[in-house]
Amino acid sequence: MSMETILKIRAKFKKELAPPESLSIDEWADIYRRIPKESSPEPGRWSTDKVAYHRQVYADVKNPDVKEIICMEASQVAKTEKCLNIVGYHIDRDPCPMLYLLPSLPLVQAISKDRFTPMVRETPVLHKKISEERSRDSSNTIEHKSFEGGTITFIGGGSAPSLASRPIRLVLADEYDRIGAVGGEGSAAMLAKRRTSNFWNRKFIAVSSPTRKATSRIYQSYQAGKRHVFTIPCAHCGEFIELKFEQLHWQDDRPDTARYECQKCGAHLKNAEIKKNVKNGKWHCLDPEKTDYRKSYKLSALYSRWVSLEDFVHEYLDAKSDIEKMIVFTNTYLGEPFEENTEGVEHVDLYIRREQYAAPVPEGVLVLVAGVDLQGDRGEILVQGFGYDYECWTIEHRVIRKSPQQDEFWEDLDHFLMNTRYDHELGPKLRIVSALIDSGDGKITNRVYQFCSDKAHRNIWPSKGKEGEDRALATKSTARTQATKGDLFVLGVDEAKTLIYQRLMVMDVGPGYYHYPFSDFCDRSFFKQLKSEKVEITFKNGYKSRKWIKKKEKSPNEILDLHVMALCACVIINPIWGAIYENMFAGIKEEGARAPDHDDEDEWAAPQKSWAEDW
């Protein structure tokens, strides 16, 4: 063997046995990470400069003094991509057992199949270390991947068996605020954190947009940590500033005029000047006296390259008069928890603001819906009208003073829902197009199901309220029984009450505003029942939780329940306001058009009936 061959062999062995070059996580991502087309509008080579605010988190992951990293962030700031970079780095450079925790199994499937797998496929250094998914290869499934020296497991928040007896060095809790408890064992995130206790270089990373201030876990963790805010240099004075929404200015509700006013020098910064300087930004610590054990970071979408100042203002203008949209804007654009006030307006204030309707059904109403609450000796019906952006008018509160155990009660209820017509201010007679009937009382549940069984075509359904945060306002029950013979809607009563109480505080007539008439049924007792409950903050599974309770133990609350059912009855049919208006009323406002006589019902009943049948 020649000396030249020996030298080549020696060089090859030296290269193979040499330790890998030392790289930070952002350096690794810039060199090796590739973004697939299906998961990003900017596919190709990864560039940390575009999201420079993540560099400090990457550094904390490798810092042994930092055990917990809390990121309270808006949407559109590449939260999940940050988590994937951390996972990819450890697979390639620092293999270990990892857990990627998500709120639900569908999200596990989505992140693993649509984000993680394409990343591995497009990044060669990862592709050669993780085999293709095979049904017979138990080491590589959608929820679990093995590689030399480590594993990565994707778990939905309620998967208790997946957390048991599993050693974990690195936990990534994505959408942390929405990860629930595991049966009676407490928070899934906390259980996962405990599994890291045997590792000296353990790491727990929580990433999420916040929710409500009183109960947001990411907000509580952010406050408890060593807090940081991101700052960038002003393009005019060079001083470092934190971008705040109150410094954003525009003219005459025109998003295209949006400019940011520097807190230091007062100069107006354009969108391009802000986005360009994000890569030169730095984190400012608000709690320098605290240790590095738990470091926390807050970030709004003002720093995002994918959200312009014009976009920001446009979203704010769209949300400012709708409390539901404002909650979403606060959480996902500002990256701040929403501070709700469910006490707000008092029942006396609502009584005082009653108004005189120009007709039984005022001009703004486009659909009539009803909620029906059943008591032992009576049934109560609330008819409400909704218009654009869920502006609401209460039309009638009627009581059928017969027991729901009697056949006569159901005959009267059917007659009312079928035949009652209300004069609209613009001419037509409107009927109730959707109704929900409470089936929660076990003594009459089957009677409710029987009554509703052949009325789905009239949008009359049984309903059942269910407590709990973050439930949809109305969802079809998956557990149909023979007795229902149709759809049963489960109502997220906590969310509905919160939304109603927030809208009751809207003072300007328009989206979300609740109108009440000068009428005998709208007396002080009506509004006391409407405002009969409050939110109490309790501890559940180690976290703060909201619970609706009566202000007085025996105070009636039927009117509040009826509001919930009426709102949900409208949400279920999901009205397309513009199409309804064009179908029913557009011709009336044309110059010279004559509103038909109220008695000329046939002329107006047909369009209303036709629209209702579409639903």
What is the per-residue pLDDT for 399?
95
pLDDT for 481: 52
CA–CA distance, 68 with 194 (Å, rounded to integer)? 12
Helices marked H in 286-404: 309-319, 323-332, 347-352
State the pTM of this model.
0.74
Q: What is the token pair recorded at 459? A: 């949008």
Q: How remote is the C-alpha of 517 from its chain's centroid?
A: 33
Residues 381 and 298 in one domain: no
Q: What confidence tens digit (pLDDT) does each residue in 584-613 have?
A: 765 555 444 434 443 443 333 333 333 333
User: Are both 400 and 297 inside the same structural domain?
Assistant: no
Do 221 and 352 lie in one domain? The reply is no
Clarify whether residues 522 and 586 are in a common domain.
Answer: yes
Distance CA 322, CA 353 (A): 20
pLDDT reported for residue 603 = 35
Domain that holds residue 145: 20-229+289-306
Residue 577 lies in a domain: yes
Asked if residue 386 and residue 302 are part of one domain, the reply reads: no
73 touches 299 (CB < 8 A): yes
Q: How many domains does the chain have?
A: 2
Q: Hey, CA dihedral for 292, 294, 300, 301, is it positive or negative?
A: positive
Residues 517 and 374 both lie in one domain? yes
What is residue 512's three-state secondary structure?
Answer: coil
Question: Which residue numbers in the chain have pLDDT < 70?
Answer: 1, 3, 6-21, 131-139, 158-165, 181-186, 341-344, 441, 479-485, 539-544, 585-615
Q: Which two tokens stand for residue 130?
A: 């993780």
Q: CA–CA separation, 570 vs 567, rounded Å?
A: 5
Q: Kindly state whether residues 46 and 146 are assigned to the same domain.
A: yes
Burial class (CB in 10 A: 0-12, 13-18, 19+), 267: middle
The Cα 320–Cα 511 span in angstroms is: 10
Residue 493 burial (10 A CB sphere; 0-12, 13-18, 19+): buried
The answer to the question of residue 267 being in a domain is no
Cα 359 from Cα 369, distance rounded (Å): 17
Report the pLDDT value the prediction gives residue 63, as an integer from 0 to 100: 95
Query: What local confidence, expressed as pLDDT, does residue 543 receive?
Result: 62
User: Is 495 found in the same domain as 390?
Assistant: yes
CATH of the domain at 105: 3.40.50.300
Separation between Cα atoms, residue 101 and residue 70, nearest integer Å: 14
Q: Do residues 259 and 269 make contact, with C-beta atoms less than 8 angstroms apart?
A: yes
Amino acid at 11: A
**For the stretch 523-562, what's the b/e string if a residue is b when 16 or more beta carbons lie within 10 angstroms of its beta carbon?**
eeebbbbbbbbebeeeeebebebbebeeeeeeeebbbbbb
CB atoms within 10 A of CB 138: 9
Q: List alpha helices for 167-207, DSSP H.
A: 188-194
CB atoms within 10 A of CB 66: 20
Give the pLDDT of residue 319.
87
Q: What pLDDT is stored for residue 134 in this prediction?
A: 52
